[in-house]
């Protein structure tokens, strides 16, 4: 799995090299790692620990008095108690969006990888092209599409799928739709990469062995696309859970997710201990979900 495992180290007993060369080669992987590790240290590990420290600050501190580190572990239960609905909503919305994205994305990736023929590259560009514009612009575009007086809502009202005064914007539906749309490419691309390598002869062999299409899919295609499926679902679910733009632009206060709360804790309310504690709770919750998922999916070597 890891690319590092393939770094050639001439240390096998079969190929003993002269000592000076061997020493240099043994250091080589570490030297190659140095820039990346330094980057990780400065921009990930140090800020993370600072955030950890901030989450244990005395909650009665303020900008003008400063914050004292009092190991206030009570920040965690307090934050959870105040904002558990937003937590639950984040995971709920991201989960529903993931199911929708799988229903849309799997057939799409399969079609592009296996059936698109010479249209393959064009279709791939179509999947990636929206990413050339900003996330914000794409979400704002949905605001126009779902507008109360727009053609789409008008059509739904005309065919009575929506009550005459019904709306799509500012509902959970719009937020989940936004999440599904915005993160779909992250699911489709890894899936495509897996499905593209699928060997046709295996499918033929399954047919020769009297498997019907459903069985072929369950016993051959699906297991072989597992790596892409796992990578895709993780790349989709993790950012979708922490997202706050979709809830902010397409939802109402009743749809706010935990990202909105963290944003407001840091920028508006200036409650740094609570914001930091919520960030860590979110991280812990996502890690727990991801580890549980990977254990069940049986691919622990991803981490």
Report the interhelical angle of 226-242 vs 258-267 (nearest 10°): 40
User: DSSP assignment of 139-199, as one string?
Assistant: HHHHHHHT-TTSHHHHHHHHTTSS-TT--STTSHHHHHHHHHHHHHHHHHHHHHHHHHT--
Beta bridge partners of 57: 69
DSSP state of 42: I
From 98-106, 175-183, 185-193, 258-266, give the range in contact with another protein by CB under 8 A. Answer: 258-266
Residue 286: CB minimum distance to another protein, A: 16
Locate all alpha helices (DSSP H) within the chain, ordered by sequence: 19-40, 46-54, 75-110, 120-128, 135-145, 151-158, 172-196, 200-208, 213-216, 222-224, 226-242, 245-250, 258-267, 272-297
Q: Rule CB under 8 A: is residue 266 a binding residue for another protein?
A: yes
Complex with another protein: residue 109 or 168, whichever CB lies closer: 168
Q: Rule CB under 8 A: is residue 241 a binding residue for another protein?
A: no
Phi, psi of 211 (to 5 degrees): -85, 135
Residue 289: CB minimum distance to another protein, A: 18
**In this chain, which of 34, 46, 222, 287 binds another protein, going by CB under 8 A?**
46
DSSP state of 69: B
**In this chain, which of 24, 34, 40, 205 binds another protein, going by CB under 8 A?**
40
From 37-45, 124-132, 185-193, 233-241, give the range in contact with another protein by CB under 8 A. Answer: 37-45
**In this chain, which of 21, 24, 50, 126 binds another protein, going by CB under 8 A?**
50
Q: Rule CB under 8 A: is residue 114 a binding residue for another protein?
A: no
**281 neighbors 79 (Cβ within 8 angstroms):** yes
Q: Rule CB under 8 A: is residue 87 a binding residue for another protein?
A: no
Number of residues located near another protein, criterion CB under 8 A: 56
Using CB under 8 A, which residues numbered 125 to 164 contact another protein? 143, 147-149
Using CB under 8 A, which residues numbered 160 to 189 contact another protein? 167, 169-170
Cα separation of 14 and 122, whole Å? 49
Q: Which residues contact 148 (CB under 8 A, 6 or more apart)?
A: 167, 169
**In this chain, which of 41, 73, 84, 119 binds another protein, going by CB under 8 A?**
41
Q: Which residues contact another protein (rule: CB under 8 A)?
A: 2, 4-5, 7, 9, 11, 22, 26, 29-30, 33, 37, 40-41, 44-46, 48-50, 53, 57-58, 61-69, 82, 143, 147-149, 167, 169-170, 251-254, 256, 260-261, 263-264, 266-271, 303
């Amino acid at each position: 799995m890891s690319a590092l495992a393939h770094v050639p180290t001439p240390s096998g007993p079969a190929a003993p090299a002269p000592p000076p060369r061997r020493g240099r080669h043994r250091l080589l992987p570490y030297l190659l790692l140095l820039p990346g590790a330094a980057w990780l240290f400065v921009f990930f590990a140090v800020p993370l620990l600072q955030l950890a420290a901030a989450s244990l600050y005395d909650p009665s501190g303020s900008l003008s008095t400063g914050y004292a580190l009092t190991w206030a572990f009570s920040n965690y239960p307090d934050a959870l108690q105040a904002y558990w609905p937003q937590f639950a909503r984040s995971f709920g919305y991201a989960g529903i969006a993931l199911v929708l994205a799988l229903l849309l994305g799997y057939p799409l990736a399969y079609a592009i990888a296996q059936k698109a023929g010479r249209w393959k590259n064009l279709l791939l560009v179509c999947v990636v092209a929206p990413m050339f514009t900003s996330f914000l612009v794409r979400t704002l575009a949905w605001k126009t599409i779902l507008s109360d007086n727009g053609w789409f809502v008008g059509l739904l009202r005309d065919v009575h799928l929506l009550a005459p005064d019904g709306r799509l914007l500012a509902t959970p539906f719009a937020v989940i739709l936004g999440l599904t749309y915005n993160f779909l490419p992250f699911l489709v691309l890894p899936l495509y990469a897996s499905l593209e390598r699928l060997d046709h002869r295996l499918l033929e062999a399954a047919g020769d062995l009297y498997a019907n299409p459903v069985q072929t899919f369950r016993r051959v295609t699906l297991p072989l696309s597992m790596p892409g499926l796992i990578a895709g679902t993780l790349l989709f679910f993790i950012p979708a859970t922490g997202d706050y733009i979709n809830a902010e632009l397409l939802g109402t206060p009743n749809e706010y997710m935990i990202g909105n709360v963290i944003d407001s804790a840091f920028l508006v309310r200036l409650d740094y201990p609570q914001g930091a504690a919520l960030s860590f709770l979110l991280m812990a919750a996502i890690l727990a979900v991801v580890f549980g998922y990977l254990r069940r999916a049986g691919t622990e070597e991803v981490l």
